[in-house]
Structure 1
Amino acid sequence: MAIERIDRLLHADWSLSPSKRWCARARRIKGRWLIGDPARIDDVYRWRDTVLMASREGTTLAGFDFPIGVPERWASQVGVTDFRAFMATLDTPQWQRFFETASTPEEISLTRPFYPQRTCKGIRQSDLTQALGVDDFDALRRSCERDMPGRRPCPLFWTLGANQVGKAAQTGWQSLIRPAMAQGAALWPFDGLLAELAGTHQCILCETWPTLAARLLGAELSPRQSKRRQADRIDIGMRLLETGLPVVWETSARASLESGFGKRPEGEDAFDAMLGLLMMIAVVEGALPVASRLSPVERQLEGWILGLCR
């Protein structure tokens, strides 16, 4: 079922590196979505206050491709049962080093769980699991990550490698999620059903994953393809133009998609921003389900990835 009360969609492909932060946008106009060209987010704080939280834009659903929620196996050891409440405690002495990434195994603790700070010889995932008191790496994944078919997202607290999401979560929580919550933004699914939140809040934040978006839209890369190659992005882009969704493309947005977002290195980031945006349109239009039926732990603590169904 379509969610009629959402007026604007934003999808941000996030990163610790400013050059790799891109946002795609769409506005509902007379029953169709006008899609704009993705733009780089150079000033996070200005973008947050003038774009994300812009009340004049109507009700906004904003998606971010970093974890919003924490794994139950870790949370149970530190007495955290509610993610929203946990976010409000991160300024207290107990959590003052939470966002400081550990450089050595000896620095890892339950209240300083991100690791490692940098690549060096001898770095092992087992250093993290042992320090956090879990049996294996998979125990640090949330339910939505363990339930993901095919390639699964990396656990929140691991910060090494091309697929890591920990560094994006660190900067995203500090510069976006917590300040937006303080300004009245809702968090899905923690604050309720998406359709209900659309009627009570002007800004709703949710978690996405571009890899899942590609699968759901029938635009997944083949094993021989890479989103880092312009030619492969062009191939996928042609499929994205034929989703059947009620969209209208701004001239520059369509040109960018047809060109695979150019030869520039950050083309893959703009590509991911657009993938997530189209998946969000499909969800809001009712072409894809919002999510599976969630357990209390998933609704209150771990969170969920928009569009994922078991």
Structure 2
Amino acid sequence: MSEFDEVLFTVADGAGRITLNRPRALNALSVAMCEAMHAQLDAWASDDAVERVELRGAGDRALCAGADIRALRAAVADGQDWLRFFEIEYALDAAIARYPKPYVACQSGIVMGGGLGVSAHGSRRIVDASSRLAMPEVIIGFTPDVGIAYYLGRASGELGTHVALTGDSFGAGDALALGLADEFAGEGTPSAPLAEASWIGECYVGDDAVEIVGRLAQHPDPDARAAAETIRKRCPLSVAVTLEAVRRAASMAVDEVLAQDLALVKALIPGPDFAEGVRAQVVDKDFAPRWQHDRLEDVSRAEVLAAFDS
């Protein structure tokens, strides 16, 4: 057992077991947790007593809800080295993606943002009836990161584009359809509402976010029109950048997507939208962010491309 109580490590019956141990914070990731996990994975890679790695979250609410965005916002405001968290987190995600032994992730409960980074890159991802997954970064002025655009860009029927641009959560069945999970721990087959929605494939084609929202808004299906309203509430710059990122990621390897994510981190995290999005969502909780662009139409192509050059 590790003495570091935010993440616990044990070995038993050939399994190296990692337990994210911050249940009151939905097992949110810290720099120290990511460093400890990476070091332990490196040690287990050459340990004959460890045949496989198993990842779980403490408590019954979440595997991991992602990073502590309130702390990140404060670090940016205070001039601290906020970039270090992302560098360490992405290095951990890359190590998981190329891990030489089976890496089994139990994606129970809430699995969002960085929680998908430490689970979806594993070799065996298991969802259950409690699973609720999301990449909700467009809600806080950021973009889906931790290499998950690799899967979103490859998902069939534009499911990944829908998930990325709305930031909405989804269950076990859609996680399987999106390629973010491999198997369901339960009886029967979980429903996949997104995979059954033909309007997603019809509306999310192309590289123009404004056109996509226009098609959604004019579609006869009320769920499509609701998606248009949802995207309109998200950060305009984040939506435009995210669409570009997902399209590029479709032809990239995981390491390349993580490198792209780091460039977007440098462009978006110090900007006004991230601070404002986190303020509205978790600090003041008024859920009324004032983005730097009033509308998606106000985001220029030059601004989108500049984000990838950071």
TM-score w.r.t. length of structure 1:
0.23
Which structure exhibits the higher relative contact order, with contacts defined as CA atoms closer than 8 Å and separated by 6 or more residues?
1
Higher helix share: 2
